[in-house]
Structure 1
Amino acid sequence: MRTIPAELAKRYEAEGWWTRDTLGDLLARGLQAAPGTEFRVHSAVRPWTGTFGDVELVARRLAEGLRARGVGPGDAVAFQLPNWMEAAAVFWASAFLGATVVPIVHFYGRKEVGYILESVEPKVFVTAERFGRMEYEPGLCAGVPIVGVVGRDFDDLLGDDPLPGTIAADPAGPALIAFTSGTTRDPKGVVHSHQTLGYETRQLAGLYPPDRDRQLTAAPVGHFIGMVNAFLIPVLDGAPVHLADVWDPGKALGLMMSDGLTVGGGAAYFMTSLLDHPDFTPAHLRYMKYAGLGGAAVPVAVTTRLAELGITVFRSYGSTEHPSITGSMYTAPEAKRLYTDGDALPGVEFRLAGDGEILSRGPDLCLGYTDPDLTGAAFDGDGWYRTGDIGEVDGDGYLTITDRKADVIIRGGENISALEVEEALLAMPGVAEAAVVAAPDVRLGEHAAAFVRMRPGDPAPGIEAMRTHLERAGLARQKWPEELSAVDDFPRTASGKVQKFVLRRDIAAQQT
């Protein structure tokens, strides 16, 4: 883990940003305060309706069952589940035990899941028998001591009685390992403590408007922010939880009218897919009062479109490593909310390096990576994190992201490693060189676009042949490029390196 300067740690504790609470403590208090709060899963395959108290009982029985099997503080508990009740039960049970939870996005493929399980060596892995393209593969978790499969034997893990209270753990110790794709070929394991994750939860909750009403959460709970929004913030606020295990804009519009649910933002795609759906009517706007956008590139065309419909838009900027660096309050001046990514949030500091790269630090900055080499490269001795993003700051201290130094595409809030996709493309017959970059996408913010240089005499593949190849390679579908172009050569630096910024610029110019 990275070294946190002593003066920073003292400051965070003195300001109350870091406390002695574990996640288990925070959850136990919140659940005790509002046991009758509604918890509902809107699903075609596994619907569920109950209360916080009902879910807590399952979580505490699971915690007791795992405790009896030797699971406790410091042990890793991994789960790969859709937005189901059982995902909340696993997360809450892990928190009560003081264990380290490892959420895995439910649409990750066998390559990513296998790497994650091998990296963290969890004591427990909970997954689903089948959901969409996800299917339980016993061989992937052969080395995990305790495995539970929802829809098959998950209930066998439950103890007869619920675990009382919480098991003590070090608040500064690991509470969560969130895997995210980046510039490396394998997902990066980002480690957060009880303190960093607890502060992030309180800080993010503070950005939300008080009249946001009953929100529908469709972002995957296997993703860092989806999990915080679904399983932590509502408990702290005593707010109902409504989950959808697939994002269906038509279903979401229907739930607005039938159940009075709201959709309050996330990646820009969630909002634009509602507006573009044939079932959308002006009557739905009463359930779309706010749009807190982040997690992916936020086109100005989207923010202005939403504002013209009377929706209050506010943007934020962060990453799994440092979840909330900047953000605008919903009460900020409209120009700041629409055209910038906000100013520094409480406790957070950021500055620009000589090349414009954003450096940040704050109480919600992670402890580091599971890979010490990545930790050493991303953090310095003074506590600053190199984000890999380029930005500009206006006279009022508001930040705007202008480019990305890191070689990563953010599609609908999900990170895609360009290197990983390029290596898969290079295994195609006849491909001599490949480059993958981010292309603007009006729905998703960005998508992957691939360029290939073929060996002399070899024909360029079509996009369907590329997709077939990537599927056989086990690459998750959201990582597949949505554009494919063959080039005679790439724009290069004097040293021969591909100038990806030129490729990105050319693609953007073609779409204007």
Structure 2
Amino acid sequence: MRRIPVELAERYEAEGWWTRETIGELLTRGLAAAPDTEFRVHSAARPWTGTFRDVEEVARRLAGGLRERGVGPGDTVAFQLPNWMEAAAVFWASAFLGAAVVPIVHFYGGKEVGYILDSARPRVFVTAERFGRLEFRPKLCADVPVVGVVGRDFEELLSDEPLPESLPADPAGPALIAFTSGTTRDPKGVVHSHQTLGHETRQLAASYPPDRGSQLTAAPVGHFIGMVNAFLIPVLDGTPVNLTDVWDPAAALRLMTGHGLHIGGGAPYYVTSLLDHPDFTTGHLRYLRYAGLGGASVPAALTTRLAGLGIRVFRAYGSTEHPSITSSRHDAPEPKRLFTDGTTLPGVEIRLAGDGEILSRGPDLCLGYTDPALTARAFDAEGWYRTGDTGELDGDGYLTITGRKADLIIRGGENISAVEVEEVLLTMPGVAEAAVVAAPDTRLGEHAAGFLRMLPGHPLPGLAEMRAHFERAGLARQKWPEELHEVDEFPRTASGKVQKFRLRQDIATRT
């Protein structure tokens, strides 16, 4: 792990951003305060309804069973499960044991799962026999001492004697190893401590609007933000948990009106797929009061559209490594909420390098990676994290993300921001989503290629139509896309980000 400067650690503790409370203790306190809170899984495959008390009983029996098998503080427990009750039980049980939990996105395949298990070396792995692309592969976990499969033998791991209390653990030690979504390479194992994860949970809970309603969590709980929103923040707040294991916009719209569930935002795709669905009506807007957007590029065309519908939009910026760097409050001035990614959150510092790269540090910044070489490249001796993103700061300290260093298109030696080109494409009639990547160019090295998801009934625009639109928008000609491709759906990571490396691979197979 990286060496955290002593003065930073002392400051975080003095300000109360870091406490001596472990995640197990945080959960124990929250669950005791609201034991009868509803916990519900809306699923065609494995529906479940109960209370926090019911889930805690399963979790403590699981913790007791794993303790009998020698699992305790300092060990790691991995799970690959959809948004089911058992995922919460495994997460909570790991926290009660003082073990580091390794959530794995349920639709990762054998290559990714094998890589993660080999990197994390867990003592326990809990999965499902089959769900969508998830398939239990015994060979992948042959070296894991304890394996449980939900729907087959998971109950055999449960002890008759629940673990009564959380086991003592070092608050500065690992509590979570979250593997990133792998947009460009093998997933990176990001290690968070009880202190960094606890601060992130408290910070997010404090920033959410008080009248946001009962939230539906569709983001996979194998991903960092889905896990925090499903299994930690509701316990801290004593608010109901409602999970769905498949993102189906039609089903989500039915849950909104039938169960009074709200969608609070996330990656833009979750919101746009609702608005663009034929079943969407103005009656659904009462369940879309707020849209906290982040996790992917947030186009100004989208925030303006949402504001026009009466939805209060606010943007945030962070990553698995540093989950909450900046955010606009839900009551900030509208131009700041719509067109910037907010100001730094409590305890967080940012600065811009000479090339515009954002450097950050703060009390929710991770301990480092499971790969020491990655840790050495990403962090410096003063505790700054190289985000790989570029941005601009206005006079009021509001940050606007302008792109990723790796997402630049270098055309004839000139840098082109993919985000800037995407913004113009999104203002074309009928365009639902746009992604721009670099395509090989024998003369100039690279040029911009656009991928568009069109609204129903709208054809892909031709190059001449697109060029006329860019001419009217006033964007320099060298930035105009030189090819357009249509997609029915974009390839995405667990957090909803478009996997641009797969779009670049698609172009490579066409040439």
TM more than 0.5: yes
TM bracket (short chain): 0.7 to 0.9
What residue is the counterpart of 2:310 in the other structure?
Answer: 310
What residue is the counterpart of 1:481 in the other structure?
Answer: 502
Matched, 1:23 2:23: yes
- With over 3 angstroms needed to count, the CA separation of the structure-2 counterparts of 1:268 and 1:115, relative to structure 1, is same
Q: Secondary structure at the match of 2:402?
A: strand
Q: Secondary structure at the match of 1:403?
A: strand
Superposition pairs for residues 81-230 of structure 1, below 5 Å? 81-181=81-181, 185-230=185-230
- With over 3 angstroms needed to count, the CA separation of the structure-2 counterparts of 1:345 and 1:127, relative to structure 1, is same
What residue is the counterpart of 1:415 in the other structure?
Answer: none
- Could you tell me how far apart the structure 1 residues matched to 2:387 and 2:183 are? 12
- Could you tell me how far apart the structure 2 residues matched to 1:112 and 1:445 are? 27
Q: Secondary structure at the match of 1:321?
A: coil
Superposition pairs for residues 2-81 of structure 1, below 5 Å? 2-81=2-81
What residue is the counterpart of 2:328 in the other structure?
Answer: 328
The one-letter amino acid paired with 2:120 is V
- With over 3 angstroms needed to count, the CA separation of the structure-2 counterparts of 1:399 and 1:41, relative to structure 1, is same
Matched, 1:282 2:282: yes
- With over 3 angstroms needed to count, the CA separation of the structure-2 counterparts of 1:444 and 1:9, relative to structure 1, is farther
- Could you tell me how far apart the structure 1 residues matched to 2:185 and 2:267 are? 24
The one-letter amino acid paired with 2:36 is G
What residue is the counterpart of 2:467 in the other structure?
Answer: none
Superposition pairs for residues 464-475 of structure 1, below 5 Å? none
The answer to whether the 8 Å contact 1:296/1:445 transfers is no
The one-letter amino acid paired with 1:155 is E
Deviation at 1:257, TM superposition (A): 1.1
- With over 3 angstroms needed to count, the CA separation of the structure-2 counterparts of 1:375 and 1:334, relative to structure 1, is same
Which stretch of the first structure deviates more once superposed, 252-261 or 306-315?
252-261
- Could you tell me how far apart the structure 2 residues matched to 1:391 and 1:64 are? 48
What residue is the counterpart of 1:412 in the other structure?
Answer: none
- Could you tell me how far apart the structure 2 residues matched to 1:234 and 1:10 are? 29
- With over 3 angstroms needed to count, the CA separation of the structure-2 counterparts of 1:158 and 1:450, relative to structure 1, is farther
Deviation at 1:481, TM superposition (A): 3.0
The one-letter amino acid paired with 1:257 is T
- Could you tell me how far apart the structure 2 residues matched to 1:5 and 1:167 are? 28
The answer to whether the 8 Å contact 1:182/1:408 transfers is no
Q: Which runs of 5+ in 2 are unaligned?
A: 410-417, 443-490, 492-497
- Could you tell me how far apart the structure 1 residues matched to 2:214 and 2:49 are? 15
Matched, 1:365 2:393: no
- Could you tell me how far apart the structure 2 residues matched to 1:250 and 1:58 are? 32
- With over 3 angstroms needed to count, the CA separation of the structure-2 counterparts of 1:151 and 1:246, relative to structure 1, is same
The one-letter amino acid paired with 1:102 is V
What residue is the counterpart of 1:460 in the other structure?
Answer: none
- With over 3 angstroms needed to count, the CA separation of the structure-2 counterparts of 1:78 and 1:358, relative to structure 1, is same
Q: Secondary structure at the match of 2:507?
A: strand
- With over 3 angstroms needed to count, the CA separation of the structure-2 counterparts of 1:105 and 1:301, relative to structure 1, is same
- Could you tell me how far apart the structure 1 residues matched to 2:131 and 2:307 are? 37
Q: Secondary structure at the match of 1:364?
A: coil
What residue is the counterpart of 1:299 in the other structure?
Answer: 299
- Could you tell me how far apart the structure 2 residues matched to 1:118 and 1:243 are? 29
Deviations 1:200-249 (A, max 9, x none): 00111111000011000000000000000000000000000000000111
- With over 3 angstroms needed to count, the CA separation of the structure-2 counterparts of 1:375 and 1:446, relative to structure 1, is farther
Matched, 1:397 2:418: no
Deviation at 1:406, TM superposition (A): 3.7
Deviation at 1:72, TM superposition (A): 0.3
The answer to whether the 8 Å contact 1:296/1:446 transfers is no
- Could you tell me how far apart the structure 1 residues matched to 2:433 and 2:298 are? 6
Superposition pairs for residues 428-447 of structure 1, below 5 Å? 440=422
Deviations 1:43-74 (A, max 9, x none): 01000000000000000000000000000001
The answer to whether the 8 Å contact 1:351/1:358 transfers is yes
Superposition pairs for residues 354-433 of structure 1, below 5 Å? 354-406=354-406
- Could you tell me how far apart the structure 1 residues matched to 2:402 and 2:210 are? 31
- With over 3 angstroms needed to count, the CA separation of the structure-2 counterparts of 1:341 and 1:193, relative to structure 1, is same
The one-letter amino acid paired with 1:351 is R
The answer to whether the 8 Å contact 1:267/1:444 transfers is no
Give the alignment's TM-score, normalised by structure 1.
Answer: 0.83
The answer to whether the 8 Å contact 2:184/2:501 transfers is no
The answer to whether the 8 Å contact 2:407/2:437 transfers is no
Deviations 1:268-315 (A, max 9, x none): 111111111111111110110000000001011110100000000000
Matched, 1:253 2:239: no
- Could you tell me how far apart the structure 2 residues matched to 1:478 and 1:385 are? 23
Deviation at 1:408, TM superposition (A): 10
- Could you tell me how far apart the structure 2 residues matched to 1:183 and 1:377 are? 18
- With over 3 angstroms needed to count, the CA separation of the structure-2 counterparts of 1:397 and 1:60, relative to structure 1, is same
- Could you tell me how far apart the structure 1 residues matched to 2:82 and 2:499 are? 16
The answer to whether the 8 Å contact 1:268/1:444 transfers is no
Q: Secondary structure at the match of 1:485?
A: helix
The answer to whether the 8 Å contact 1:452/1:487 transfers is no
Deviations 1:354-381 (A, max 9, x none): 1111000000000000011110110011
Deviations 1:393-415 (A, max 9, x none): 00000000002014699xxxxxx
Aligned length: 444
